[in-house]
Structure 1
Amino acid sequence: MQFGIFTVGDLTTDPTTGRAVSEHERLKAMTAIALKAEEVGLDVFATGEHHNPPFVPSSPTTMLGWIAARTERLILSTATTLITTNDPVKIAEDFAMLQHLADGRVDLVMGRGNTGPVYPWFGKDIRQGIPLAVENYALLHKLWREDVVNFAGRFRTPLESFTSTPRPLDDIPPFVWHGSIRSPEIAEQAAYYGDGFFHNNIFWPKEHTQKMVRLYRDRFAHHGHGTPEQAIVGLGGQVFMRANSQDAVREFRPYFDNAPVYGHGPSLEEFSAETPLTVGSPQQVIEKTLSFREYAGDYQRQLFLMDHAGLPLKTVLEQLDILGEQVVPVLRREFAIGRPAEVPDAPTHASLLAERHGAQSVVQLAETATAQSS
């Protein structure tokens, strides 16, 4: 099972000091957090994509390319790549390029985006969000798998005899997760292609998460990709930890209360009771995270949000030390207990390459046996 962190890249004033960081400082902090993630033994770093204040990561592949040059093991991903407002041709090119430069350590989460004004900024209509996501991904899927593409759709000029360059590394496209909090159409899309489904459940109660994941698993099986248990599921969550749970709550409360995403709404206690948010001791984080399996089944990827709401970089790095040293080793061990053998790991470039070589070997053996028998 993979463990990692994701960032939404918000630019938020620290409510305890009144200090506002610059865009430059925030971007540098995000990259420092990624390097720390590898240092403490995490598997994945994912960045969001936003084109409006108070967020700064408008160019994920630029950031991930910088991180790729400074890491060796870390899988580089996105917390959302906007499949609706980005040109699928540019996504195909950018992520194939990144895939080569990172020696395959790349995947991405496709999402529609939930900020209305962004759509017209890129010449799109938010009322067409679902059709855009469906059509644009159909094109992206072809661009990575066919050397010469002809395509005509509703939302862009047709392509005739077009080849996206560079081609994916080893002719294996980056693995795609389809991210959605509330849209069953996106769960269906993930299931149809046999891709992963990432449910960033930081805002929703477990009953909602359970329904969305179950829908994806059932449709994954319906489309012939395996059993429901073999579907590829990722979950989100947010944690803040101190050795003493009361200290964690006291320190995090002002950040929660002023967060641009969920501040000024339900109380910290209400939010913690109804969603995966965990503010407390490392043991409390372990216990709550392990409970996700009760309603989502055995899943493949767990990402935590840790740098939101104006938390100082020093505090975030401390949180990562706790996560890497005290929490993730226990989670790896506990999630492995009772995990059925048929439940796959999250695909990586290396595993997909090995799978293809294995399939080719089987075909070659069958061809040899047929030739010998004749």
Structure 2
Amino acid sequence: MVTIMQFGIFSVGDVTTDPTTGRTPTEAERIKAMVTIALKAEEVGLDVFATGEHHNPPFVPSSPTTMLGYIAARTERLQLSTATTLITTNDPVKIAEDFAMLQHLADGRVDLMLGRGNTGPVYPWFGQDIRQGIPLAVENYALLHKLWREDVVHWEGRFRTPLQGFTSTPRPLDGVPPFVWHGSIRSPEIAEQAAYYGDGFFANNIFWPKEHFVRLIDLYRQRYAHYGHGTAEQAIVGLGGQLFMRKNSQDAIREFRPYFDKAPVYGHGPSLEDFMAETPLAVGSPQQIIDKTLRFREYFGDYQRQLFLMDHAGLPLKTVLEQLDILGEEVVPVLREEFAKNRPAEVPETPTHASLLAARTTEPAGA
């Protein structure tokens, strides 16, 4: 089945006290809950589950490939991704090998999103300097890109020891590296990097007004075309989002408000209503969620991947699973149909291992 556009969820894996009960899950409970949520995503017909990477409390997903490998063994169709793989503080050699291994175990159902993260102290924990964040991202990805495409690598850079005649193992499945998204909320340099390589650009637009992300995505599209990968409209774009739904919008707002007000990230700040007006956060009925999400195309153009954050701020697992039922049964089927309407034929589908393999095998000799 060709997936013109992917819909899925991403988790940051926070361990947060439920403000309505005062109960805080254990780390074990939260890790197991993330797995349950991923399995539910496949059950309700979503395309993607993505996990963040964090190395500090109150977050638990410090080893994304371990979690995704476990989920791969328990799913058949779900695309497995990261919501951030820290390109600045992970060794590119280890990223190359970990994700190639995951590719083989998951029969190709793997991609990853590279980012610098939003936790400054992580840099010295892994022997790096936050002031070098952008140069680290640029150099480390240049090496990762090479490791996946050259069987024997000779390389020297600023931030790690040189490599001489090095081969990362295992090699990518079928000789096709995992598709890479470069994630950013603020940095034009990352949009430029994604465009240079012809990779995807994921604008995690959940915290700031749309005008900021329109500029970033427009820059990426223009530079993608500049580097000869296709037209601006053919660039590969992904977006974030946040949802909470009930049949009645007033019930949704009443139930979600205490979680919003106490949330570690945006609690004690703007009101729920102001935040909904300025960002993609949508709290209401399924139809309200559909209407708001469909407007993303008006701002950003046709795009390839839509991920929603749904299991955060202390929401209990039972509630998250109920939300996923609504998303899979009432929201995503309509979004699929509506986003497919009037979609120009030249806009590409979401890259998958199968489509990348097919494209490689149909390239003319010497391409």
**TM-score scaled by length of structure 2:** 0.98
- Matching of residue 96 in structure 1 with residue 91 in structure 2: no
Match of 1:249 among 230, 246, 253: 253
- The equivalent residue for 1:204 is 208
Residues 68-124 of structure 1, C-alpha deviation per residue, up to 9 Å, x if partnerless?
000000000000000000000000000000000000000000001111111000000
> What is the letter of the counterpart of residue 156 of structure 2?
A
List gaps (5 residues or longer) in structure 2.
none
- Matching of residue 188 in structure 1 with residue 163 in structure 2: no
Provide the rounded CA distance (Å) in 2 between the counterparts of 1:37 and 1:162: 39
Deviation at 1:21, TM superposition (A): 0.3
Provide the rounded CA distance (Å) in 2 between the counterparts of 1:338 and 1:164: 44
Match of 1:230 among 234, 237, 258: 234
Match of 2:357 among 348, 353, 361: 353
Provide the rounded CA distance (Å) in 2 between the counterparts of 1:308 and 1:142: 36
- Matching of residue 105 in structure 1 with residue 109 in structure 2: yes
Provide the rounded CA distance (Å) in 1 between the counterparts of 2:73 and 2:365: 37
- Matching of residue 301 in structure 1 with residue 302 in structure 2: no
Provide the rounded CA distance (Å) in 2 between the counterparts of 1:108 and 1:261: 24
Deviation at 1:313, TM superposition (A): 0.2
Look up the SS of the partner of 1:46 in the other structure: strand
> What is the letter of the counterpart of residue 150 of structure 1?
H
Look up the SS of the partner of 1:150 in the other structure: strand
Look up the SS of the partner of 1:304 in the other structure: strand
- The equivalent residue for 1:46 is 50
Provide the rounded CA distance (Å) in 2 between the counterparts of 1:151 and 1:15: 51
- The equivalent residue for 1:367 is none
> What is the letter of the counterpart of residue 103 of structure 1?
D
Deviates more, 1:347-356 or 1:11-20: 347-356
Look up the SS of the partner of 2:182 in the other structure: strand
Provide the rounded CA distance (Å) in 1 between the counterparts of 2:182 and 2:361: 26
> What is the letter of the counterpart of residue 357 of structure 1?
T
Deviation at 1:259, TM superposition (A): 1.0
- The equivalent residue for 1:339 is 343
Equivalent residues in 2 for 1:125-164 (5 A)? Answer: 125-164=129-168
> What is the letter of the counterpart of residue 197 of structure 1?
F
**TM-score scaled by length of structure 1:** 0.96
Deviation at 1:204, TM superposition (A): 1.0
Provide the rounded CA distance (Å) in 2 between the counterparts of 1:157 and 1:107: 27
Match of 1:172 among 151, 176, 188: 176
- The equivalent residue for 2:270 is 266
> What is the letter of the counterpart of residue 251 of structure 2?
D
- The equivalent residue for 1:322 is 326
Provide the rounded CA distance (Å) in 1 between the counterparts of 2:226 and 2:102: 33
Residues 264-295 of structure 1, C-alpha deviation per residue, up to 9 Å, x if partnerless?
11110010000000000000000000000011
> What is the letter of the counterpart of residue 98 of structure 1?
L
Look up the SS of the partner of 1:76 in the other structure: strand
Deviation at 1:356, TM superposition (A): 1.5
Measured at CA, do residues 125 and 316 of structure 1 come closer, stay the same or move farther in structure 2, by a change above 3 Å?
Answer: same
Look up the SS of the partner of 2:331 in the other structure: helix
Instruction: Report the RMSD for the aligned CA atoms in angstroms.
Output: 1.0
> What is the letter of the counterpart of residue 125 of structure 2?
W
> What is the letter of the counterpart of residue 325 of structure 1?
E
Provide the rounded CA distance (Å) in 2 between the counterparts of 1:135 and 1:261: 30
Match of 1:276 among 258, 277, 280: 280
Match of 1:57 among 32, 55, 61: 61
Provide the rounded CA distance (Å) in 1 between the counterparts of 2:320 and 2:160: 42
Deviation at 1:223, TM superposition (A): 0.5
- The equivalent residue for 2:72 is 68
> What is the letter of the counterpart of residue 100 of structure 1?
H
Deviation at 1:363, TM superposition (A): 4.3
Look up the SS of the partner of 2:362 in the other structure: helix
Look up the SS of the partner of 2:311 in the other structure: coil
- The equivalent residue for 2:224 is 220
Provide the rounded CA distance (Å) in 1 between the counterparts of 2:187 and 2:193: 10
Look up the SS of the partner of 1:135 in the other structure: helix
Residues 205-245 of structure 1, C-alpha deviation per residue, up to 9 Å, x if partnerless?
11111111100000000010000000000000000000000
Larger radius of gyration: 1
Residues 164-192 of structure 1, C-alpha deviation per residue, up to 9 Å, x if partnerless?
00000000000000000000000000000
> What is the letter of the counterpart of residue 36 of structure 1?
K
Deviation at 1:355, TM superposition (A): 1.2
Match of 2:38 among 11, 34, 37: 34
